Structure 1
Amino acid sequence: MFVGTVMRKIKSRTWKKQRYFRLQEDCMTIWYKSKKAGNAHSTCKYSFPLNAISRWICDWFKKADKNRDGQMNFKEVRNLLKMMNVDMNEHHALRLFTMADKSQSGTLEDDEFVLFYKMLTQREDVLRVFQEYSSDGQKLMLQDLKDFLREEQLHEDGVQQYALKLIERYEPSDTAKMLQAMTFDGFLMYLSSSEGSIFNPNMVDLYQDMTQPLCHYFISSSHNTYLLEDQIRGHSSVEGYIRALKRGCRCVEVDCWDGPNGEPIVYHGHTFTSKIFFKDVVTVLGNYAFKASQYPVILSIENHCSVEQQKVMAQHLTQILGDKLLKSPLDGKIPIGLPSPEDLKGKILLKGKKIGGLENCMNGVVDDPLMGEVSDEEDTKSKQRLSKELSDCVVYCKSVHFSSFKHSQIHSKFYEISSFTESKTRKHIREAGSEFVLHNARQLSRVYPSGLRTDSSNFNPQDMWNAGCQIVALNFQTAGVEMDLNDGLFSQNGHCGYILKPTFMRNTDERFDPENPQNRDGYKPLSLSVQVISGQQLPKVNIKEGSIIDPLVRVEIHGVPLDQAKQETRYIDNNGFNPVWHDTLQFTIHVPELALVRFVVEDYDKTSKNDFVGQFTLPFICIQPGYRHIHLLSKDGTSIPPSSLFVHVRITKLM
């Protein structure tokens, strides 16, 4: 190499040219000359430190070695990795620490730490992709990176500017930045970042039109929000409201009953659940309603109180919430349609029974032939007296009994809302799916769990979203696939709690039947191909010492019935640190606008049910194609870094 030789330089599949290369005496600088005819002076000098990463790691080691003894124990190493912004699973890191401790001293010297760091962060799967596009196997020049972004990540517009931005943002080597190049470490940092995530970062922030009528949105909704446990003996607490509102929930529920000393209470009636004061719930609502989102909160009232205590409820709502409580139509005019989330920013809407409509205001107390929470399954003739003070707090969400879709089309008002049990909702979808979708294009519907779910379990909300139901109320306190789907749907659009429904569910001139989606206008099915490549630092599910998981990955499609599907990879024996699958799973998506994709990792067990390891759920429309990382979440929806999956995704049109 000191003498020099002619080699073919390949920058991409189409750019291949001869160059004369010679290694300089410092063993770090490569000199080359173009082989173009008549060009004897075209030369360029590239200085690229071949061992820069090892020196960079050693520099960090020296910074953290406070007593200058050249050694670090595991606790010090763990703190250093945090300083270096390296995520780690402590169990896996300790195992690698022991392997790197060649001297068996219980500490790492600088060269041992370099070995430990490289073992912890080595990614052969990503390295193969890197080398496929690298001209020299050491770095991606700007053209190499552009080729990768175009061919694999399917970036089309402004590729050069985007590639330069990635180099500036993720490349740790200043020398590489000067060359407009990206080393493997920079490439790995990019793929591990939000821009390398499967979730399109452009859809994480608010991106949808928020000026449509309220009934055109799916609304994140909670059932029996006050309960932290089951429906029989569970603990009632204002903490339930705080947790739900912090998760972006925009519709919360209160069951109100007469309490002691004239103070209304909240609890699950006729059960042994504990009780809290209504005024405490309202106070929490005032304090937390707009912490996670500025868009309106709907307070769904299940009213079992006497007229006297209803007046107290109205007093608490008015005095505690003040201007946040919407008590009259916007602009003081009789509206002709529901306002938008944008119009209602910072406002709390009461959902409940109302005397008359928006067109007329009645005085005093009237008899109402329906009792409590009005649902289409109730058949009661008992009368409840409703106070004008509480009635006046209801504006755009008047609870009414549902008779039929034909009756609603003729007689219902835009500000009326009906509540359905899960079973009746499914029946309506089966028997009149397209009519239900049209009904929900005109006004709001609320769906709530069956009363038989005393364990606070949930139904599958996807079935209800398929019919355009906006307020699909779930028990937020119960983790599981149902809440994963809810969190997945509302993880887009700034976590604001409102998701704009597809056009074909908002337009009353269109007919969409979730049971027969092929019949809709604009039907364009897609093919989804997911190659599950590898996993990284998957958490242990068994605390027993020495236990190692046998991971498999399941990909689930949740959507209209025709889209419901699931496929699994094979399981990998005893490897939770860096399992490799390279298994490809194929799906057909008929209604991509409604589909959710759930990635689940489980610990395979041939004798019993597999153990849950982690999951990630996102809307199909938010998927980024190409090589992507999926950052896993725990059963309760919290992050479990650095656990992830590495996948390759392709989406193609079938028609």
Structure 2
Amino acid sequence: MDSPYSLLAQDDEDLRAMKAGATMRKVKSRSWKKQRHFRLHDDGQTIWYKSKWAGMGHSTFSVADVEAVREGHQSEVLQSIAEEFPAELCFTLVFRGRRGNLDLVAESVSDAQAWIRGVRKLVQNAESMDAKERLDQWIWDWFQKADKNKDGRMNFKEVRSLLKMMNVDMNEEYALRLFTLADESESGCLENEEFVQFYKMLTQREDLWQVFQDYSQDGQMLTLAELEDFLKQEQQRGEGSRDHAQDLINRFEPSETAKKQGAMSIDGFQMYLVSPEGDIFDPKRLELHNDMSQPLSHYFICSSHNTYLMEDQLRGQSSQEAYIQALKRGCRCVEVDCWDGPNGEPVVYHGHTFTSKILFRDVITTLGEYAFKASEFPVILSLENHCSLEQQRVMAQLMDTILGETLLRAPLNGLVPHELPSPQDLKGKILLKAKKIGGLEESETLNDEVTDEVTDEVTDEVSDEDEAEPKSPSVENLSAEELGLSRKKSKLSSELSDLVVYCKSVHFHGFENSRLHSKCYEMSSFAESKARKLAKEKGMEFMQHNSRQLSRIYPSGRRTDSSNYNPQEMWNVGCQIVALNFQTAGLEMDLNDGLFRQNGCCGYVLKPDSLRNDDAFDPERPQECNGYKPLRLSVQVISGQQLPKVNQKEGSIVDPLVRMEIYGVSKDQAKQETSYINNNGFNPLWNETLNFIIHVPELALVRFVVEDYDKASRNDFVGQFTVPFACIQQGYRHIHLLSKDGTALPLSSLFVNIKISELTTETE
């Protein structure tokens, strides 16, 4: 059996060169440059590398984990050795998720080019595969893993080992029966197509077969009318379901005979249900569909805190790469902490800690290059300014020179606004969020002498005493002043002040003061505890404030491990810029990713009507609001498919359970879970129904979590997927699971049946 990759490699000179191997330097820093021998494994998708002295030991990574190849000195590490090694020998492999880059220096230009072109071809090939090709590749991969002696055949002992690797504890007698049925040549081994047959028997989806049988009169095919009936009854398709049924047959039915008859086989039915069309997330909601012409204050904005950090905020590495990763994920508000650096050059790092420093110039260069690759809508640069007047002028000059026309320097059309412009109006623009002396109204009358006056804090995040970073063992020798406990006045340069247009940072003096005196372009930042207190005690006023003004929320200074707060509490009252530590995986980033996966992943999501208007919406008392319409969410958790192993010990198999978590207003916070299934991560079957009442559907997020049950200790995380309630498709759906890092877990999914119905207040 040939892998789709190996077929590609047979005719490709670059891939043949990769399979032959090449010695390259793996570079971690200016002082760490070590030779390693790299080669593409015979499976065509695994790259091995080892040192001469490693004996039999080697490291590997999958081509599927590579997101992109950067040519030349396009990483901080390779830039640091640019004088030693020319650009044409250097390249960087960028991995998905939070895994660090791999920086390499080839011995010749031809080697470098062969690997750059070859890896790009393999990445493109992986991304362009359809569901059937991905499945073929997956089967082939398992065949390779199980074929221990590499003879292209698999005996029953190897098959038993394979089943353990595939996370299934199957009765040996049943496994032998399947093996014997598949061994048509009666050789005692499975070869090529025999293994495919074994896999098909192993993965027969009884759960899907049962649904198919419910609508197929002859049990073999779904006619066009039967498929249309299924779409109406189960998938909640109304108008146009006949045309939709025909379209599904054309796209997913593998049998030409069935296609000609206008029918769908069980194979086509399965292909449809595991495709994006059968996904829980409505494909139409994945596309850019929001009205993008409303004021900025009417949108949730994907926002990062301490964007420069790859790790924690005490000792972590600062890196341009962190900005690249955040921007690629659709982040539209990045933070830059600026401090005076040597040689008159401002630096970026988490002040008065042991985090590494990077040049402000390099951060702005990275922002200029990557700001609009994932989204064309505006980027807000949130500036935490701790610099002297001299270096503030340098910052202004660098932004002006490097960002050029993308940097917004004046109000649109030269007019002082009564409301903020829209994301549509500001496409391709970078907005500076910082302190500003005076307002847009007075900008023409200001002069240097006035603008260099002493002002309030130049930085936003010198927070109240209860939010200041405490002393800890790692920073115990730093003074209170160094830890930011003192609040002092600073000078602001006119050059920097002039670059602030629609995001002027101001101190918050209460909702009444804001309502009477604030300009639409003024915005405040709130530490999480202050925002949480306001949301709980004055939720309606906070919501009304956020219908007019931008608010930025940031994590407590006590979070020295760069952990995150729950952003949902802030979204409930319409806060737009809810800044999270993107480098820290977990529930909070899952919610953020879930909310911003919709609307083309553009980083802007239009807030619900209730949060955009100056109406009386109170998230703590939704039942008292106009238009209150609670809904019942009923989810039958049917089965799971190919769940990954969490414990790599031989013989270890997961005991999976599924937990559903609802995040929204206080009344909607809820969790329910299924029972656990013993020793089956391959095809566990639950058939359990979980029910919820959703009081404010437009704000709710639904998170599905799979865990490995452990009665003696905490359950291990297996996978998750988070979806806005408003983006859920009803009916029989697959949920394609993501890892802790938010990357796809190939072929790992849950199969569910979702029903949403209206709930009257009388029957609640």
How far apart, in 1, do the equivalents of 2:45 and 2:617 lie?
58
Give the letter aligned to residue 457 of structure 1.
S
- Considering fraction of residues, name the structure with more helix: 2
Give the letter aligned to residue 541 of structure 2.
E
Render the CA deviation track for 1:529-557: whole Å, top value 9, x for unaligned.
00000000000000111100000000000
Give the deviation of 1:360 after TM superposition.
Answer: 1.1
| Map 1:343-422 → 2, pairs under 5 A | 343-361=425-443, 362-364=446-448, 365-374=451-460, 377-378=463-464, 382-422=488-528
8 Å contact 2:639–2:683 — kept in the other structure?
yes
Give the deviation of 1:613 after TM superposition.
Answer: 0.1
Give the letter aligned to residue 721 of structure 2.
F
Give the deviation of 1:83 after TM superposition.
Answer: 7.5
My pick for the range that moved more, 510-519 or 285-294, is 510-519
Give the deviation of 1:337 after TM superposition.
Answer: 1.4
Q: Residue 453 and residue 526 in structure 1: after superposition, are their counterparts in 2 closer, same or farther (change >3 A)?
A: same
The reply on whether 1:649 has 2:754 as its aligned counterpart is yes
Q: Residue 355 and residue 551 in structure 1: after superposition, are their counterparts in 2 closer, same or farther (change >3 A)?
A: same
Residue 606 of structure 2 corresponds to which residue in structure 1? 500
Give the deviation of 1:244 after TM superposition.
Answer: 0.2
How far apart, in 1, do the equivalents of 2:590 and 2:134 lie?
28
Gaps of 5+ in 1: 1-56, 67-73
Give the letter aligned to residue 425 of structure 1.
A
Give the deviation of 1:113 after TM superposition.
Answer: 3.0
- Aligned to 1:566, the other structure's residue is in SS state strand
How far apart, in 1, do the equivalents of 2:665 and 2:45 lie?
50
My pick for the range that moved more, 127-136 or 87-96, is 87-96
8 Å contact 1:371–1:384 — kept in the other structure?
yes
| Map 1:319-334 → 2, pairs under 5 A | 319-334=401-416
Give the deviation of 1:355 after TM superposition.
Answer: 1.4
The reply on whether 1:290 has 2:372 as its aligned counterpart is yes
| Map 1:524-543 → 2, pairs under 5 A | 524-543=629-648
8 Å contact 1:367–1:383 — kept in the other structure?
no
> Whose Rg is larger?
1
Residue 350 of structure 2 corresponds to which residue in structure 1? 268
Give the deviation of 1:373 after TM superposition.
Answer: 2.2
Render the CA deviation track for 1:285-323: whole Å, top value 9, x for unaligned.
000001110000000000000110000000110000000
8 Å contact 1:295–1:342 — kept in the other structure?
yes
How far apart, in 2, do the equivalents of 1:278 and 1:374 lie?
18
- Aligned to 2:314, the other structure's residue is in SS state coil
The reply on whether 1:623 has 2:728 as its aligned counterpart is yes
Q: Residue 106 and residue 223 in structure 1: after superposition, are their counterparts in 2 closer, same or farther (change >3 A)?
A: farther
How far apart, in 2, do the equivalents of 1:321 and 1:111 lie?
57
How far apart, in 1, do the equivalents of 2:632 and 2:409 lie?
49
The reply on whether 1:277 has 2:383 as its aligned counterpart is no
Give the deviation of 1:363 after TM superposition.
Answer: 1.3
- Aligned to 1:300, the other structure's residue is in SS state strand
- Aligned to 2:219, the other structure's residue is in SS state coil
Size of the alignment, in residue pairs? 587
Out of 613, 616, 634, the residue aligned to residue 718 of structure 2 is 613
Give the deviation of 1:431 after TM superposition.
Answer: 1.2
Q: Residue 82 and residue 219 in structure 1: after superposition, are their counterparts in 2 closer, same or farther (change >3 A)?
A: closer
How far apart, in 2, do the equivalents of 1:350 and 1:310 lie?
13
Give the deviation of 1:335 after TM superposition.
Answer: 1.9
Give the deviation of 1:84 after TM superposition.
Answer: 3.6
Give the deviation of 1:255 after TM superposition.
Answer: 0.5
Give the letter aligned to residue 587 of structure 1.
F
8 Å contact 1:557–1:597 — kept in the other structure?
yes
How far apart, in 2, do the equivalents of 1:363 and 1:336 lie?
25
Could you tell me the TM-score, scaled by structure 1's length? 0.86
How far apart, in 1, do the equivalents of 2:556 and 2:724 lie?
26
The reply on whether 1:314 has 2:374 as its aligned counterpart is no
Out of 587, 590, 614, the residue aligned to residue 695 of structure 2 is 590
Out of 66, 85, 91, the residue aligned to residue 134 of structure 2 is 85
Residue 327 of structure 2 corresponds to which residue in structure 1? 245
Residue 4 of structure 1 corresponds to which residue in structure 2? none
Render the CA deviation track for 1:566-607: whole Å, top value 9, x for unaligned.
000000000000000000000000000000000000000000
- Aligned to 2:288, the other structure's residue is in SS state coil
Out of 561, 570, 581, the residue aligned to residue 675 of structure 2 is 570
Residue 37 of structure 2 corresponds to which residue in structure 1? none
Give the deviation of 1:82 after TM superposition.
Answer: 9.1
Identity over aligned residues, as a percent?
A: 65
How far apart, in 2, do the equivalents of 1:442 and 1:77 lie?
52
Out of 421, 424, 427, the residue aligned to residue 530 of structure 2 is 424
The reply on whether 1:299 has 2:381 as its aligned counterpart is yes
How far apart, in 2, do the equivalents of 1:300 and 1:357 lie?
18
How far apart, in 1, do the equivalents of 2:462 and 2:532 lie?
13
Out of 302, 311, 327, the residue aligned to residue 220 of structure 1 is 302
Give the deviation of 1:117 after TM superposition.
Answer: 3.4
How far apart, in 1, do the equivalents of 2:489 and 2:187 lie?
81
Residue 468 of structure 1 corresponds to which residue in structure 2? 574
8 Å contact 2:455–2:492 — kept in the other structure?
no
- Aligned to 1:593, the other structure's residue is in SS state helix
8 Å contact 2:417–2:520 — kept in the other structure?
no
Residue 627 of structure 2 corresponds to which residue in structure 1? 522
Out of 469, 486, 494, the residue aligned to residue 592 of structure 2 is 486
Q: Residue 434 and residue 77 in structure 1: after superposition, are their counterparts in 2 closer, same or farther (change >3 A)?
A: closer
- Aligned to 1:602, the other structure's residue is in SS state strand
